[in-house]
Chains A and B, each alone.
Chain A
């Protein structure tokens, strides 16, 4: 039996981990919440300009939902918590 010499150096391997996909805070439409109220809540929570808040609010109204924020899960959950506290229908989804 021939002895197999161990290589002097273990082959170097480098693994690249894919960064986690970001999370999206999604506001959903409902027939109850007033459009003006939705805009005000988006400004209050996210600090959006009135123009951006109105734009996102209209997207919620016309398309049924709008992504209002993208980032880490923990912060996203904090935002959804604040949106629920304001009684807006919202959820957290992993970005596609």
Chain B
């Protein structure tokens, strides 16, 4: 897969192999729908977080996952097989990638990046998850560097 910044402040993704498309489709799969509820667990009952805030967060996070899934599927069917992350969509992409990484971390507990070595991971599912996480991390870093407007 080729990743390159665009002249108008976006980031272009050009998937070249089947695995490239699969890893992009996996973003929405890896992203857990439980994240909002996990955040709710950080608040006390008096805050009514589960009743008021969690449904809003669930809706917001769902929009991020759906946006990424739709963009990847649309690009896969299009003549020009490429995806451009525009500055206006940076938060949606970053958020979906973050959801995926938070979910993978919750499931596999990779820990801090500097202590994780893929060749030391014996479980194939865990190793695959780690490599996806590495790709998501790279994509997040590129979005922060080239696309985000903050």
Of A36, A37, A87, A92, which contacts B102 at CB under 8 A?
A87
List residues of B (36-58) whose CB comes within 8 Å of A's CBs: 36, 39, 42-44, 47, 53, 56-57
With both beta carbons as reference points, the residue of chain B lying nearest to A77 in the complex is identified as B47
List residues of B (80-136) whose CB comes within 8 Å of A's CBs: 94-95, 98-99, 101-102, 105, 110-113
Residues of B in contact with A, size category: 20 to 34
User: Is B150 within 8 A of A87, CB to CB?
Assistant: no
Rounded to whole Å, the gap between the CB of A59 and the closest CB of chain B is 17
> Which secondary structure dominates where chain B touches chain A?
helix
User: Is A37 within 8 A of B113, CB to CB?
Assistant: no
Q: Which of A3-11, A12-20, A25-33 touches B?
A: A25-33
Assess whether B6 is interfacial by the CB under 8 Å rule.
no
User: Is A84 within 8 A of B57, CB to CB?
Assistant: yes
Residues of A in contact (CB 8 Å), total: 21
**Once the chains are docked, how many angstroms separate the CA of A91 from the CA of B44?**
9
User: Is B101 within 8 A of A37, CB to CB?
Assistant: no
Given known pairs A44-B150, A89-B42, A91-B42, the reply for A34 and B53 (CB within 8 Å) is no
Assess whether B34 is interfacial by the CB under 8 Å rule.
no
User: Is B102 within 8 A of A34, CB to CB?
Assistant: no
Rounded to whole Å, the gap between the CB of B148 and the closest CB of chain A is 7
